[in-house]
Amino acid sequence: MEYSHFGYFLAVCIIVFGTVIGWHIRMLFIEKRLMKRLDYLRGRRGETDSDDG
């Protein structure tokens, strides 16, 4: 088998797998940030509701 272009194939694998894994990590961070903000707002709304009640 000819392996002279193995480096090219390796580069493609790193780019494809790296992009997909990187995208998931970025989305995990975004999700974490959004959930944190939502929890904070729910907490505040809970406080306001109990103050009103």
Q: Which CB sits closer to other proteins, 8 or 52?
A: 8
Q: Does 50 bind other proteins (CB under 8 A)?
A: no
Of 17, 14, 35, 36, nearest in space to 25 by CA: 17
8 token code pair: 């090219």
Judged by CB under 8 A, the chain residues 8 through 47 that form the site for other proteins are 8-9, 11-13, 15-17, 19-20, 23-24, 27, 30-31, 34-35, 37-38, 41-42, 45-46
What is the nearest approach in angstroms of other proteins to the Cβ of residue 34? 4
Query: Diameter of the chain by CA atoms?
Result: 77
The three-state secondary structure class of 12 is helix
